[in-house]
Amino acid sequence: MRIDAVSRNWLTKKFGANVCFDEPMARHTSLRVGGPAEAFIAPNSFERLVELVEWSFKKKIPYVVVGHGTNLLVKDSGIKGLVIVLMDCLCTIERKEGEKEGVMVTAMAGARIQSLCSYALVNGLNGMNFALGIPGTVGGGIMMNAGTALGSMESVLKAIHVLQPWGAVKRVGIENLAFSYRGLSWKENQLSNGPSLSFIIDGSFLLHPSDPHELKKEAEKIQGARKKSQPFGRLSAGCFFKNPRTGKTAGELIELAGLKEISIGGAGVSPIHANFIINNGNATAADILALMETIQEKVLQTFNIYLEEEVKIIGS
C-alpha cells in the first residue's frame, strides 16, 4: 500500500467527508465496474486541489485525475494512490467580452461537456453543437479531443491552463497544442514533466454569435439522431474503439466480423451499435477486457485491422 497511516490521517484532516478510502470505482464509472481506489478525493476548492497535488508530489504518492467516469474502464484490482475528481472545485463556465473573432468562453475542467453545450445554446453561440450527447467533463473531453462526425474539440479550443504537480499554473496556447484523433498532447518544452503529472484545469473556446432559434433546431436534430443510433439507458463507456483512419468504422467492422450481440460473462456488444460494449448488470472489468480482446483478435484476423481502444483503461 502506498498510502500509510500518517498520510491517511493528513488526508482525513484536510478533506474530511470529501475523502473516501478503499472506495469502489464501480460507483464512479458509467460502466459500473472497477475495484477500489486507495483514496478517492473531491476537493471543494481550487486552493485545496493545489494543496493536495503539491503534497502528493512531495510524498511521491501517485495520483490520477478523472472526470465523470464516462470514458473510463477501471480494472477489478483497483487503483493504487489517489483518485482526484474535479467536479466540486472546477465547474464554472464564463464568457469573455471584447474578442474580435467571436466570443471566448472558458469552461473549467470539472464542468460537464453538456453544460458547456447548453451554455452555448442559451447564449446563442455557435460552435459546440457537435458535442451534443457526448458525456463526461470538459477536461476529459479536451484530453480525448472528443468529437463526432460534425466536429471535435480542436475546432473550437484556443488555449488551456494546466496545473503542474508543484502547484504552478501554466497557460498553453493553441500554437503549442498537438491534436490527434481522440488525443491531445503539448510540446514538451512547455511543461518540464510533460502531461503525465500535469493536468488540465480549464479550456478556452472561441464561439460565434448565431441565431438561437436555428441553433436550437440544429441541436434537436442532432440529439434525435444520436438517440436512435446509440444504446441510451444502458451501462456503457460510449464508443469503445477508435475508428480506423480510412475505410469502415469500428462498429461496421465488428458487425461484419459477426460479433454483434456476442457476450462474455456480464459484458456484451450492443445490438444497437456494435462499437458499444455494455454491462448487462453483472459484468466485471475482466469480462469487459476479455470481450475487448476477443473483438480485437477477430477483427484483426478477418480484416488485418487492429482496433485500438478509445476508452481509457486504468488500474494496477
| 310 a catalytic residue | yes
Residue type, 143: M
d(CA 45, CA 89): 5
The answer to whether 69 touches 24, Cβ cutoff 8 Å, is: no
d(CA 133, CA 124): 18
Helix (H) or strand (E) holding 178: strand 177-180
Helix (H) or strand (E) holding 204: strand 199-209
Pinpoint the alpha helices (H) of 172-211.
none
DSSP string, 91-120: --EEEES--SSSEEEEEETTSBHHHHHHHH
The answer to whether 130 touches 150, Cβ cutoff 8 Å, is: yes
Cell (9 digits) for 307: 482496433
Set 112, 182, 255, 309: catalytic member? 182
d(CA 72, CA 27): 12
Set 89, 239, 255, 309: catalytic member? 239
| 38 a catalytic residue | no
| 239 a catalytic residue | yes
**Residues noted as catalytic:** 182, 239, 310
